[in-house]
Amino acid sequence: MTVQQGKVPGHYLRMPHVERGMAVALFGGSFNPPHAGHALVAETAMRRLRLNQLWWMVTPGNPLKDHSNLAPLEERLALSETAAEDPRMKVTAFEAAYRVRYTADTVALVQARNPGVSFVWIMGADSLRDFHKWERWQEIIRSIPIAVFDRPGATLSFLSSKVAKTFDHARIDEEDAPLLARSNPPAWTFIHGPRSPLSSTMLRRQAAKD
């Protein structure tokens, strides 16, 4: 997908600043649009994983999704800023500037540019079901710890996912979630908690009807 970077404020195209020793979550998605469910996952991650920062990474476009209804990047960034109220959450679109499309490449880039920082990937349980379809998915799991957050309708189905079965040995207890970011991958956990029924797909459908 081609991104008109001239329309995107420059600070979004730079990787957020971090310091050695920090624990930082990478929260990637199309956020088309961002909603309270995304904010709930981000807020829960900050608390349960004891993070110093969370990068709210607004992607140019998910390679696995249809882009026909994808709002402009600058619009999704502005809406994400509204949703990410905690100042420790940094809304960014650096993937557009570096022209990376796949999560494996994003993780490798972030880790290479920020030595001494402990990164953890966060995602909803609904995304875990299709995680084995992601480009180089096993490389991702072996590169960065992953926190999977409960989502409506996905609480039980994630257990039957290819990822959960393949890396069952690498699952850590939810009580140890504060240690996850500093754990050696492969390491992942499932975090239960408050769930929002909202989804970007549902919101787009409602907007189309109005």
Determine the Cα–Cα distance for residues 130 and 146; give it in Å rounded to an integer: 15
Give the predicted TM-score (pTM) of the model: 0.87
Does 9 map to a domain? no
Does 6 map to a domain? no
Tell me what pLDDT residue 195 has. Answer: 53
Does 63 map to a domain? yes
Tell me what pLDDT residue 1 has. Answer: 42
* Distance in angstroms between the alpha carbons of the first and the last residue of the chain: 28
Q: What is the pLDDT of residues 4-57, one digit of tens each?
A: 456 899 999 999 999 999 999 999 999 999 998 899 999 999 999 999 999 999
Does 150 map to a domain? yes
Does 84 map to a domain? yes
Does 12 map to a domain? no
Query: 82 Cβ partners below 8 Å, 6+ apart?
Result: 34
Does 7 map to a domain? no
Q: Where are the alpha helices (DSSP H) in the chain?
A: 36-48, 73-83, 94-98, 103-113, 125-128, 137-141, 162-166, 200-209
Residue segments in the chain with a per-residue pLDDT below the cut of 50: 1-4, 196, 198, 200, 202-205, 207-210
Q: In which domain, by residue range, is 64 found?
A: 23-208
The domain that holds 179 is classified in CATH as 3.40.50.620
Tell me what pLDDT residue 200 has. Answer: 44
- Pick the closest to residue 1 from 36, 41, 42, 30 (CA basis): 30
Distance of CA 170 to the CA centre of its chain: 20
Rounded percentage of the chain residues whose pLDDT exceeds 90: 71
Tell me what pLDDT residue 31 has. Answer: 94
Does 184 map to a domain? yes
Q: What total of structural domains would you count in the chain?
A: 1
- Pick the closest to residue 166 from 132, 199, 193, 125 (CA basis): 132
